[in-house]
Amino acid sequence: MAAKAVSLKSRLKRRPYGRSRVGNLLNFLVLAGVGVVMALPMVYAVSSAFKPLDELFLFPPRFLVRQPTWDNFSDLFRLMSFSWVPFTRYMFNTLLLAVLATAGNVVVCSMAAYMLEKRKFPGSGLMYHSVVLALMFSGAVTAIPNYLIMAEIGWIDTYFALIVPAFATPIGLFLMKQFMGVVHDSLIESAKLDGANEWQIFWRIVMPIVRPAWQTLIIFSFQSTWNMTGGTFIFSEELKTLPSALNQVLQGGIARTGVSCAVALLIMIIPIAVFIASESQVLETMGSSGIKE
């Protein structure tokens, strides 16, 4: 009897229950096809960045470049060299804003989500529903109130006008609060009995358990802050971001089509690199996090 049980268990390990080899092959083909379709726009953007002008204006257009060239990038850096501010300054501004805004967003949203999920207090439900309601409003709706607030406190034309509002985002708080539910109250109570304070519980117990959530939030937050132009709040050239400077380069019209393709590649390559670096960790921790009772 025991031998039959071992044999059945080994067969189940070799082949997933309820799925044949044909089903596995079909799943692989479908997923591979979807992956290829999703990768096509990125491949086309990379190919267009290295196309000479005669291939960019070719009709019907070619998907892949035939004679790759670096002229688009050399033209871009030549144009940037004539600007008032060095190219490295724009890059520094963008990296500074993206890193500080992302770090602040993760910390603030995580602490707020912990209090809303694990520390019930009067008005917590109303506050959470207000956050969910805020998801319905786009940035265009809140642009004027944000500008009036920044002007009132004197943050116009400063880094604070872009960094501080990015600390608290409705989507970040909603995401973190949903993941806080995997943290069992019994674990928090046990830590309290061992003498841990709220900060120790939050940083040493809660944050490691919800690691998939804040790693995912890092990806979303970095992608959104990397593309910030700050045109509403930033007017000094030395404070402008890289997307803002590159958008100014594109104002030259159709003659800068090649440069625009190079700009598109430069703007998208950093967020994609961050996503690739974090994606494997997110998938790994999603499969191993939580408590199994």
Note the pLDDT tens digit of each residue in 69-112. Answer: 888 888 777 777 776 777 778 888 888 898 999 999 999 999 98
For residue 1, the model assigns a pLDDT of 46
Is 9 a residue whose pLDDT tops 60?
no
- Segment 149-172 shows an average pLDDT of 88
For residues 201 and 256, the answer to whether their CB atoms sit within 8 Å is no
For residue 103, the model assigns a pLDDT of 92
User: What is the rounded distance in angstroms from the CA atom of residue 211 to the CA atom of residue 207?
Assistant: 6
**In this predicted structure, which of 99-103, 157-161, 208-212, 267-271 has the lowest mean pLDDT?**
267-271
Is 245 a residue whose pLDDT tops 50?
yes
- Segment 233-256 shows an average pLDDT of 77
Name the DSSP class of 259.
Answer: H
Is the omega angle on the peptide bond into residue 60 within 30 degrees of 0, that is, cis? yes
For residue 107, the model assigns a pLDDT of 92
* Domain regions of the chain by residue span: 74-288
19 pLDDT tier (thresholds 50, 70, 90)? low
Q: Please name which of 174, 224, 137, 218 lies closest in space to residue 146, comparing C-alpha atoms.
A: 137
Residue 235 sits at the vertex; the CA angle it makes with 232 and 241, to the nearest 5 degrees, is 80
- Segment 7-36 shows an average pLDDT of 70
Whether pTM exceeds 0.85: no
pLDDT averaged over every residue in the chain? 79
Note the pLDDT tens digit of each residue in 31-74. Answer: 888 888 888 888 888 888 888 877 887 778 778 888 888 888 88
Contacts within 8 Å (CB) and 24+ apart, 110-115:
110/176, 110/202, 110/206, 110/207, 110/210, 110/214, 111/202, 112/168, 112/173, 112/176, 113/173, 113/176, 113/177, 113/179, 113/180, 114/176, 114/180, 114/202, 114/206
Q: Which of 1.10.3720.10, 3.40.710.10, 1.10.10.10, 3.40.190.10 is the CATH number of 74-288?
A: 1.10.3720.10
Give whole-number Cα distances, 214 to 159, 175, 179, 243, in Å: 24, 8, 9, 26
Contacts within 8 Å (CB) and 24+ apart, 228-236:
228/94, 228/97, 228/162, 230/97, 230/161, 230/162, 232/143, 232/146, 232/147, 233/147, 233/150, 233/155, 233/156, 233/157, 233/158, 233/161, 233/162, 234/157, 234/161, 234/162, 235/156, 235/157, 236/157
Q: Please name which of 77, 37, 41, 40 lies closest in space to residue 258, comparing C-alpha atoms.
A: 77
For residue 105, the model assigns a pLDDT of 92
For residue 286, the model assigns a pLDDT of 52
For residue 12, the model assigns a pLDDT of 46
